[in-house]
Structure 1
Amino acid sequence: MDHVVPRAQGGQDTWLNTVASCAEDNHHKADRTPEQAGMPLLHQPFVPSPADAMLLAMGARDRSELPEWLGQSAA
């Protein structure tokens, strides 16, 4: 996990200020914003819906990775 606006620059632990990041990129970005580090975001942060939260909790990237019975009910 990485903060878009680093905590060192006043960033908070919110859905809209956190993104997934590998350790190498997180270390490279350090206490800079993506713009300052020259690392544009691939996706904008968002507040997950209940269905998105279920996907995250189950470790799935999208509904196609869920069991068929669960993927249909979450739609």
Structure 2
Amino acid sequence: MKHTNKQVLTKGIKYLAFALPLIFIGPSILFSAFNNQDHYLYIPILILGILAMFAAVFLLFKGILTIVKAVFD
């Protein structure tokens, strides 16, 4: 099924909408992990923060790419 440009644009905006909270949550979790290095959950929280930041970058990239594809295709 071929998607229209409006549907592709909507999908790109959804990617950006999912990335927006991760942009703020990822660094906050990472900052919290670095402030509590002596806590026993330091490594899992650190990994969670790094994963959230990578997910934000990935979703931003995918969202912008999708929007560009919808506009110029």
The TM-score with structure 1 as length reference comes to 0.22
The answer to which structure has the higher strand fraction is: 1
The TM-score with structure 2 as length reference comes to 0.23
By relative contact order (CA 8 Å, sep 6+), the higher-ranking structure is: 2
Q: Rg larger in 1 or in 2?
A: 2
The answer to which structure has the higher helix fraction is: 2
